[in-house]
Structures are given as C-alpha cells and as structure tokens.
Structure 1
Amino acid sequence: MDKEDADPVIAAFYRAALEPAQWDAALRGFARLAGGDVACCFLKAEAGTAPSRACVTGLDEQAWEHGYRRYYHALDPGYAVLTRAPPGHMHLMQDYFSEQAVARSEYFQDFYLRAGVRYSCSGVVRDNGALTILSAHRAAGQGRFDRRTHGQLQRVLAHLPNVLRLRDTAQQAQAHGALGWAGLDALPRAILLVDASLRVVFMNMAAQRLLAATPQARSLIAVRGGSVDVRVSSVQQQLAHRVRQACAGLACPRPAPLYTTDEDGRPALEIGILPLPVRIGQHGVGDGAVMIMLSLRPLFRAGRRHWSGVIERPCGLTGAEWSLALALADGMEPAEYAQRQGVRISTVRSQVQAILAKTGTHRSSEIASLFSALEWDAGAPP
C-alpha cells in the first residue's frame, strides 16, 4: 500500500460537513487510508440500541441494514472496548480479540467474517449527548493494522468533533452546499480561509483570538495587508507553493502539515492545509471557487524551559527518547512500548519525563501531538 496521508481525508470530512453528498467519498478515503475497503460512521445512543444514523462504504446494504443494524449491533464486542475508555482515541481491535475469541464469537463468525472483514480500528467522539463511532475495516488478506496507519487514523478522529459541529451548524442554517460562516466561527480550532495568493477571505473567532492574544503565535504568523505572512521565509515559501498547488487541483507531494519553529528551533505552530470547494458570493469570490482552509494549532504552552539548539535529533533527544517519542506519536501506550522493547516500565517513564523536559510539553499526549505529523521523517533516523 502506498503511504497515504491523513490531510486529504480530513479535508474530505470537512467538505462532507458542508455537502452531505460527500460523506460517502470521505469514508472511501478513510477506508483507503486504513488500507482496507470498508468504513462507517454512525451514531449510537447507548449499548443495546440500534444505530440511529449511519454512513457506510464498502459494505452491502443487506449486511448493514439487515445484519448489523437489526441484530448484530447488540453483540458487537468492540462497542464495549470503545465505551470503557474516554472518547477521542482510535482502538485497534486486533489488540483486544485473539484468534480464539474470534472463533468463539457469534458476532465475528456469523456476521463480521461473512461480510468479508476481519480487522477494525474504531474510535468514538461525543455528538449531542450520544456517541458517534468512526471505524475502518480490513479483510483478513489485507493484514493487521500497523502503528503508522493507526496514527494517521487517529489524526482524522481528532478532527471529527469539529466536523460534526460544522455539519450541525450548516444544517441549522440550511446552508446546503454553501459555506456556513457561523459554523466556522463556532469551531474551537483556529481557521483561516485563503485564496491562491494567500489573501485571507475569512478568519474565525478562534483564529482572531490566537493571533491577537497569544504572543507566541504572533511571533510566528500574522495577517498583513489582508494576506497571511509567516515570519520564517522558508515556511512562507512552502505554504505559498502548497496553496497554489491545492487551488490548481494538483496533488501535494508532501501533504503533512507545515511547522514554523520558535527561537530555540522547536516546532511551535502547526499549519494544516485543507482544500475546500466553497461558494462565497458576498466576499467577492465566484461560485465554485476553490478556497484553502488553514488550520492553526500551537504545539506548546507558554512558560517553557529553554535549551540549546537542535544538533542531531529534534529537541536534543537521545536515540532512545527519539524512538519512544515516535512510538507515542504512532498511538502506542508507554506500557506496550516497554513490553515490546523488553525494558522496565520505570525506564520508559523516566524517558517520558526527559522528553517532557526537553520539548516543553506537560503530558505524553502532547508529545504524541508534537511528533505525530513527523512520521514521514521517521524512516530516516539522524
């Protein structure tokens, strides 16, 4: 399988939030990202109840409607796994159900395997008091999920709450096929819409607060003369090039987010680049114009420790710390990493503390967020 990236899939889900007909395309992209053919996104209020809303790709209607929704949803052992943990984390079901458990399960034997799927990666997010489940599935011949793919699917799930919020706002505003400005303003993530020349067409409230009230962000990026200006010239050039490519409909050779660094050489601000086809008559843009959504995310909090510039590995990490940081970015838990490396959990915890100190982060989840988009460099260790 080619090395897919999550960003085009994330963009597809945002498009689907504004254009309901695009949900199937978004799920097909999600299935391809997972290296499989089947994906679904459905709402389920609680255990034992049938899904009340669903979008499914790669699975025939008979298997879904007359199989899962009518009966097998109540036997799904994966749902118990998802509800035991806080929402927002993708779970590899291969880690929970052995071959023996699969062989004994009515759900697996009479529905899942017969539907042509074997492995799944699933996560949940809260949606108006209920849970929305997002899942990707692979057939037995497509193999088990690897950690890199797990990390990419996790990135998509992290955007799903914003996608659902945008969907609901657009529906309430009856903005069918048009961009709901109120929906973007409601997103907690800082969002800017720009044209091919980086001219800002729209900036939501979160972006305004970020650029006005966060000194760190102001020192890295600004809006000057109505256009986006990144203080690091090399990043500005990359951003301009990628935006022009996306507006022209060309595939970006390196679709991972861009990062602009602080004075210590640390990646400090993530810039996601997501193409969106929108219609914005009141802002002087013709119908069908392609706009680009820039998603801004600070990676560190204020008041961090300083250290000398990067010499070899990012943030001056040792080889062992670098290996652990990449594993955390791939979604691996510290205990699992210790087991796989054959070291004590206390050793891994000490390494985590060292990474926290060197990167200025405060918890392992922030380490994962910091390095998750650097996966395209993971195969070339310093």
Structure 2
Amino acid sequence: MATLPQRIADEMGTRSALIQAWGRDGSVRLLHSNSYYSDEMLHHYVVEGFNRLDHWAEVLFHPDRLNKGVARSTEFISAEAHQKTDFYNEFFRRFGDDTGQCLGGGFSFPQDSALGIAVHRGIDEPEFDTNHVTRMQEIAGHVTRMMRARDQMHGARLHSELLEASLDNMGAAIVMLDASGKVNFANAKAHELDERSECISLAGGRVMLRSSRENQRLQAAIASRHRVGGSGDAFACCADRGQSWRIHVLPCQRGGVSGCMVIVENGDIPLDMGRRLQLLYGLSPAESRVAMGIAEGQSAAELASTLLVSPATVRTQIRHVFEKTQISKATQLSRLIASLPQVSAV
C-alpha cells in the first residue's frame, strides 16, 4: 500500500513529498517521506548544520508565512539562485540529488511547534503552476485536519493514561460500568481481587460479589442508576474467608449516558471512625461510641452493659445520634458509617 507521501507525490506529479513535524524543543516528532531526505541525508541535515542553510524552511516557517497556506519556493528564490547556494551544492549535490523546486507550507499546532508539508521537483523541471498551488492547498487542508485529530487523540490518551495510573495507585478496587452495566475499566486492585477470588468477580465483563445474597444488593444498586434520583448504595460485605469489605455504588451520568462506579474497600472500620463522626456530625465522644456500637450490630442492652451505663442513657444517646445525623433507623446508621471513605481525619 502506498504511503501518504507517495500518494501526494503521485497526485501532484512530483518526484517526492514530505510531511514533517517539529516539537517545541526542535526535535523531529514526525517524518514521512517517500524518497526525499533519506536517513543518511537527514543525519547530515541535522548534525552538520545544513538545517541552518535551508532557505526553503525559512520560506515555509517564517512568522510571516506560517499558517498562510502553500507557496512556491520560486516566489522567494529562483531556481537559478537556489542552484548557486551552499544548501544545493553541498547538501543536495553531495548525495547526487538535483531537487531544485519546492511547493508547500508550514502550519503551527498546540502539540508541535510546526508542521511542514511539501512536494519537490528537479531543478530543470517545469515550475509549479497555479493548478498545482490550488491542489496542494486542498491536500494541506486534509493533512492539517488529520494532524489536529492526531494531537487531540494524543492528548486524550495521555489524560487517560494519567487517570488510570492514579486509580491503579489507590488501595481500593475501582470498577467503572457503562450504561449496560458492563465493565469498561477496572483498576489494578480490582483485577488483583478477581484473580485471588476475593470479594468480587469480573467474569464475563460484569462485576459481581461472591456472596450471592450481597450480590443481589449490589446488582440492585447498579440497576438503580437508571431511575430518576437513583442514589446507589453503600454497605458492608463479608467474603468467604471471613474478610470484611465495604461496597460503594456511585451512579455517574455524563452527556445523557448513565453508568456507575463500584468501589470496594477493606471493611475494617478505621480506629478513628468515631472521631470522624464527631467532626462531621457534632457527636459527643459518648454518642460516637454508641453510634459505632449500633453500626457493629449491638443492641441497646448490650451497649449499656459494655459501656457501664443505664439502658435509658443509651436510648437517649441513640436519639441524639439519630437527630444529629438526620436518620431514623439503625440500618441507616450502619449504611452511613459504611459509606464514609477511608481517609485520614483532619
């Protein structure tokens, strides 16, 4: 299959074509050529400083010319004058090349300092006419649009790679689901749990909990994202090996498309969770101890015995906890504590 430069050269009826992009540091980021500038020529062009003698580059990339469309080199230097330059005699002729005419243009891009596109003819061949200029302008438009799309994809890829690396460095398992509930991303921790058969499974492109009862709750939370105002869920989960986990299901919607994120954290309640409840909801130390006991499934009588206070005192503290957290059931309190992220308290 013919390369893009070869197709351009064939279209224009020229001996060669060149597409080249330079980075902001002067490095060559992209170079496509069908015959012009062999690897050996390019080496001498850069290492021996012929790039500083290249008056065609000055024509294409001078600030007065950049992004102004294509032009013929003969508009700025005649073929006869070009033939007398060191660039022609010490560079082209050195490699047995008699390239003496150039038609092209230079364009700037956010990711590249400049992009050049050009076609070339021998010094004794007919000059490029207005038809060549018109057609080359059309081709340059197609190439610049292609380069813009390439840069956009490059930027998106870098952003995606950075995001994935950040998620992989997190201690929690994170799974992103699309609108159909299929997994479209799982970080390193999620794959680790799946491979070790702990808590979650990613088989068949779906995320499931290994406990059938708790998996029903997970699937219901995932399905809830389709409902107006669906809020997901957060709950504790016990795996087969006795390890406890906390599951968070967070609905996501962007561009009219719904999906969700499933986060799986170690289920051990941090030692400072009571302190977090005090900071977030204004609970007293005694009320936070009662709240933690309720979250662990203890009854009022059990709490009274453990804390060495009367059942009436515990009931009063429970009422205060419910009032301050604006909930009314022990199950809601357990869910609240399960939903708090495992971050260090300030």
With the length of structure 1 as denominator, give the TM-score of the two structures.
0.36
Q: Rg larger in 1 or in 2? A: 2
Structure showing greater relative contact order (alpha-carbon pairs closer than 8 Å, 6 or more residues apart): 1
